[in-house]
Chains A and B, each alone.
Chain A
Amino acid sequence: MSVASADQLPPKATSQPGGRSELLQAWQRFRANRMSLVGLTLIILLVLIAIFAPLIAPYDPITDIFRGVRGVGPSWDHPFGYDHLGRDLLSRVIFGSRVALLVGLVATGISVLVGIVIGAVAGYFGGWVDTLLSRLIDTLMAFPIIALLVVLAAVLGPSLVTTIVVIGFTGWARFARVVRAEVMSLKQQDFITAAKAVGVRDWRIIWRHLLPNVMGPVIVLASLGIGGIIILESALSFLGLGIRPPNPSWGGTLADGRAFILRYPHIAFFPGLMIVITVLAFNFLGDGLRDAFDPRNRD
């Protein structure tokens, strides 16, 4: 038997007919859950709003400053009212969705990638590599992450890129822990032993045979984590360490609103409402995915 044909050995969960039907089953379980469909719909809407923000927003979020209407409340022409400088709040909130989704999705993507690589390496190779990486994971898990974020954002200078990079590179420990545990249990199984016996290279085993099998829990964990990351981003912006004014972000607008909370309460109300809707949507989606991928959790 040649190495090439050994590679054709079907990985467990992605074998051609079986894999499709398993995904299909997951999709059917997901579809049966009304709340997760609501979540998915909301997320698609939000993504569309973020992409087409310049077309949807009635005014420019930064340069259109109206005179004499600082902090004036909602009206027909300006459904969310004006902010403390006289800018259209609706337009600022629409553009703010870009920041929230960009940070939520990209930072989660970075965390997942780093977590998978480190978790897979630690779990597969074991030994001193595992000991070293596990201590690193422990350290990151024991770190008050918000403290690290605040300090790093201050060090690197607050900006969109900083926020994404900092959140992405500090949040991978959870994913690494899950991937490591899954890989450790999977590598004992016969199909891995078989692949090793016929001489498949380590990286190919990890990539083709192990990773497809750990993606389920990782996807669930990621979708449940996005909401938390969006809250984290707005918390950073709220503290003045995220997106810098005058660029519109929900957390930043909330911070503007805090300064005028008793005079113009609507400034803080609308961006917060958008955060709640977005986070809720991702949480519904995550709950649905968890139930769909892990039948043990089903009612």
Chain B
Amino acid sequence: MLSYITRRLLQGALVIFLISLITFAVMRLMPGDPVYMLLGEGEIRISQEQIEAIKAKWGLDRPYYEQYLVWAWNLLRGDFGDSLIRTGVPVREMIFEAIPVTAIINVIALFISLAVAIPAGIWAGVKRNSAFDYASAVGSTLGVSLPNFWLGLMLIVLFVLYIPQWFGDIPLIGKIPPFGLRSWQGYILPVLVLTTEQLAVVTRVMRAATIEALGQDYVRTAYAKGLAKYVVITRHAVRNALLPVVTVIGFRIAFILSGTIVVETVFAIPGIGRLFTDSVFRLDYQVVQSLVVVLAVLVVLVNLLTDLTYAIIDPRIRIE
């Protein structure tokens, strides 16, 4: 067990090293020079010496391998450096300010969607080919086909433009702002968008897993020894059917950026997605590099946790 975890962590470290190397290389290939970005092109006249001085201060005049080593070494010590563009602000501070914003929205959405999708998927799988099964199949196929940024825009139109026009403010909630998170109402639409997407995915997976589990021999055995249908489903089938859902949850957490990057742009939310795109556009090397590595660490750890959870839930799975 311990040797398994060690081996996985070592493999993960290799993956993270490769990712940091690729990101570093790609960022240096970017057209444009962060120094000009920093100074604002054409606004102030500066001498070549001043540019050299700025480059020297940030270490941009050193050879690439040296830049990489310095950055990687600092990263290992937990020092993410300072933002190139927002002068003097530590990157760590920027990232740690953005993470909770993204995390809160995604965790709420994940909980709501699991609470609805797991029972819905089981029910659809048990009552196969029923009206409910078809409705949930159509609904979840539609759900995975909706681009979340379009859904977000349409919800803004519906909740901010039309519903107040037709009915006045929404009871108990009041005015929903289209952008930003200044009040708690601002969380409603982004959470709704992320929930819809995950609801669809989890329902599909849960239904398929339930059907698969119900066809297994041990379920037939359970019926044969006279157990009630309810007991067979909850205790034998569902417990095994939950395994693929663990994978989906792990995947959602690991690839949190993919799910959230465009949604944060739509709703102007100051989370990691916005931080990332903004930093790419501003050529803020330090932020982009560090953020990618932080996210890669997240992927590696969550994947490991997913596999360990598998082994805990399902005693048939042995970890070599």
A interface residues, Cβ below 8 angstroms from B: 135, 138-139, 142-148, 150-152, 154-155, 157, 227, 231, 234-235, 238-239, 254, 257-258, 261-262, 265, 268-269, 272, 275-276, 279-280, 283-284, 287, 299
What residues of chain A lie closer than 8 Å to B18, measured between beta carbons? 135, 139
Interface contacts (Cβ under 8 Å), in number, total 125
- A sample of 6 more A-B contacts (CB under 8 A), given A144-B299, A280-B145, is A143-B299, A148-B26, A262-B161, A272-B154, A279-B145, A280-B141
A239 near B265: Cβ-Cβ < 8 Å: yes
Nearest neighbor of A150 in chain B, beta-carbon distance: B280
Contact of B258 among A145, A157, A299 (CB under 8 A): A145
B139-170 vs A: 1/0 string, CB under 8 Å? 00110111101100110110011000000000
Q: Is B31 an interface residue (CB 8 A)?
A: yes
B298-315 vs A: 1/0 string, CB under 8 Å? 011001000000000000
Task: From known contacts A239-B265, A258-B153, infer whether A142 and B299 are also in contact, taking CB-CB under 8 Å.
Answer: yes
What residues of chain B lie closer than 8 Å to A235, measured between beta carbons? 147, 149, 261-262
Task: From known contacts A227-B145, A235-B147, A262-B178, infer whether A268 and B153 are also in contact, taking CB-CB under 8 Å.
Answer: yes
Task: From known contacts A151-B23, A235-B262, A239-B265, infer whether A284 and B281 are also in contact, taking CB-CB under 8 Å.
Answer: no
- Distance in angstroms between the alpha carbons of A101 and B265 in the assembled complex: 25
- Distance in angstroms between the alpha carbons of A234 and B277 in the assembled complex: 15
B157 near A261: Cβ-Cβ < 8 Å: yes
Interface residues of B in 249-285 (CB under 8 A from A): 255, 257-258, 261-262, 265-266, 276-277, 280-281
Nearest neighbor of A142 in chain B, beta-carbon distance: B299
B interface residues, Cβ below 8 angstroms from A: 11-12, 14-15, 18-19, 22-23, 26-27, 29-31, 128-129, 141-142, 144-147, 149-150, 153-154, 156-157, 160-161, 178, 255, 257-258, 261-262, 265-266, 276-277, 280-281, 288, 291-292, 295-296, 299-300, 303
- Distance in angstroms between the alpha carbons of A138 and B300 in the assembled complex: 10
Q: Closest CB-CB distance, A144 to chain B, in whole Å? A: 5
What residues of chain B lie closer than 8 Å to A257, measured between beta carbons? 153
The dominant DSSP class at the B interface is: helix
B299 near A152: Cβ-Cβ < 8 Å: no
A–B complex contacts, Cβ < 8 Å, 26 sampled: A139-B22, A142-B19, A142-B300, A144-B258, A144-B299, A147-B257, A147-B291, A150-B280, A151-B288, A154-B30, A155-B30, A231-B147, A234-B147, A235-B147, A235-B149, A258-B266, A261-B153, A262-B156, A268-B154, A272-B153, A272-B154, A275-B150, A279-B145, A280-B141, A280-B145, A283-B144
- Distance in angstroms between the alpha carbons of A238 and B264 in the assembled complex: 12
B145 near A276: Cβ-Cβ < 8 Å: yes
What residues of chain A lie closer than 8 Å to B280, measured between beta carbons? 150-151, 154
Nearest neighbor of B298 in chain A, beta-carbon distance: A144
- Distance in angstroms between the alpha carbons of A151 and B281 in the assembled complex: 9
Nearest neighbor of B255 in chain A, beta-carbon distance: A144
- Distance in angstroms between the alpha carbons of A279 and B145 in the assembled complex: 5
A138 near B15: Cβ-Cβ < 8 Å: yes
- Distance in angstroms between the alpha carbons of A279 and B146 in the assembled complex: 8
Contact of A275 among B31, B129, B147 (CB under 8 A): B147
B30 near A272: Cβ-Cβ < 8 Å: no
Q: Closest CB-CB distance, A236 to chain B, in whole Å? A: 9
Contact of B31 among A155, A238, A261, A299 (CB under 8 A): A155
A254 near B149: Cβ-Cβ < 8 Å: yes
What residues of chain B lie closer than 8 Å to A279, measured between beta carbons? 145, 147
Nearest neighbor of A287 in chain B, beta-carbon distance: B141
B288 near A139: Cβ-Cβ < 8 Å: no
Task: From known contacts A142-B296, A155-B30, infer whether A261 and B178 are also in contact, taking CB-CB under 8 Å.
Answer: yes
Task: From known contacts A150-B277, A157-B31, A235-B262, infer whether A276 and B141 are also in contact, taking CB-CB under 8 Å.
Answer: no
Contact of A146 among B31, B142, B157, B261 (CB under 8 A): B261
A268 near B150: Cβ-Cβ < 8 Å: yes
- Distance in angstroms between the alpha carbons of A135 and B13 in the assembled complex: 11
Q: Closest CB-CB distance, A101 to chain B, in whole Å? A: 16
What residues of chain A lie closer than 8 Å to B276, measured between beta carbons? 147, 150
What residues of chain A lie closer than 8 Å to B292, measured between beta carbons? 143-144, 147, 151
B153 near A254: Cβ-Cβ < 8 Å: yes
Q: Closest CB-CB distance, A142 to chain B, in whole Å? A: 4
Q: Closest CB-CB distance, B80 to chain A, in whole Å? A: 16
Contact of B147 among A150, A261, A276, A287 (CB under 8 A): A276
- Distance in angstroms between the alpha carbons of A89 and B23 in the assembled complex: 39
What residues of chain A lie closer than 8 Å to B156, measured between beta carbons? 261-262
What residues of chain A lie closer than 8 Å to B300, measured between beta carbons? 142
What residues of chain B lie closer than 8 Å to A262, measured between beta carbons? 156-157, 160-161, 178
Nearest neighbor of B302 in chain A, beta-carbon distance: A142
A283 near B145: Cβ-Cβ < 8 Å: yes
Q: Closest CB-CB distance, A183 to chain B, in whole Å? A: 22
Q: Closest CB-CB distance, A195 to chain B, in whole Å? A: 32
A254 near B150: Cβ-Cβ < 8 Å: yes
- Distance in angstroms between the alpha carbons of A276 and B19 in the assembled complex: 33
What residues of chain A lie closer than 8 Å to B255, measured between beta carbons? 144-145
Nearest neighbor of B295 in chain A, beta-carbon distance: A144
- Distance in angstroms between the alpha carbons of A275 and B277 in the assembled complex: 23
